[in-house]
Amino acid sequence: MVNTKFKFIDLFAGIGGFHLALHRAGLECVMACEIDKYARKTYEANYNKISPKIFSKNLFFEDIVNVDSSNVPSFDVLCAGFPCQPFSQAGQKKGFGDENRGNMFFEIMRIVSKKKPKVLFLENVRHLIKHDDGKTFQLIQEYINYEGYDFAWKLIKASDHGLPQHRPRVYMICFRKDLGISNFEFPKSRELEITMDDIFNGNCNKKIGFTLRVGGKSSGLHDRRNWDTYLVNDQVVKLKKEEGLKMMGFEEDFVFPVSETQAMKQLGNSVAVNTVYDISIKILKILEDHKIIKRAKR
């Protein structure tokens, strides 16, 4: 365990997949931002216990556009699963042409330019890589390089880090160049911790489950668009939030003060906690090796 005393901010926080993973790794959240009113309820209900200061000191912001960079506390790691709809199939792949969501990347860079954190930890859908023939992804990398950061990325499935869900996502790790850290190597894959048999506590027709979606109707067991219906013990079963939590790597005591529909939407919009945790541990190890953080005294 390292004594990081490292702080992070959680932008486009959703229900706090980044928050939970980095907290497990020993980092402290000093600010969060989430615009969806239902996700905000879920976020506060679960993180007020472990990060009370961001709520008591009014550091749980709503709209990132209205966040004055000078009011952002000092921090070391910027986490952001920035809006993926402009780059996904669900968002018609509008990219930066989506005025309401596509420009949110530049709001991230506005804060980066002012605060210059040590590490950027970003996540998005796999379609980002090939959007607009790769021009969008290239532009993102160029902006990050211009601000003085190296850029490493990898397409990773949730199932690569212990969770029974495909969920391919692109993860971007960017160290500030003056730290002397380049050629970041992502953590190696690890075996599944659980399968869909464990998720449903029965005999499931799939070992690894479908990628949870942000929303949409269930289309039936044999429909090619099916994402939440399984055959368990020869019975058709529809996925519920309790199973979704396990598939995403959240704690069993995680609470949803919202409807089932909202809970499933929030899970589908989250990051895979195990993946973020494993990458966080690798980041900390590299920072330790470069003597930027020190190992805790036993």
Tell me which residues are annotated as active site: 84
Tell me how far apart the alpha carbons of residues 212 and 127 are, in angstroms, rounded to a whole number: 16
275-290 burial, b for 16+ CB within 10 Å, e for fewer? bbbbbbbbbbebbeee
Structure token pair of residue 206: 């799939």
Element (H, E) at 287: helix 273-289
Tell me how far apart the alpha carbons of residues 114 and 116 are, in angstroms, rounded to a whole number: 6
Long-range contacts (CB closer than 8 Å, 24 or more residues apart) made by 190-197 = 190/160, 190/161, 190/162, 190/278, 191/162, 192/159, 192/162, 192/163, 192/164, 193/162, 193/163, 193/274, 194/162, 194/163, 194/164, 194/246, 195/164, 196/164, 196/230
As to burial, measured by CB atoms within 10 angstroms (0-12 exposed, 13-18 middle, 19+ buried), residue 122 is: buried
- Amino acid identity at 133: D
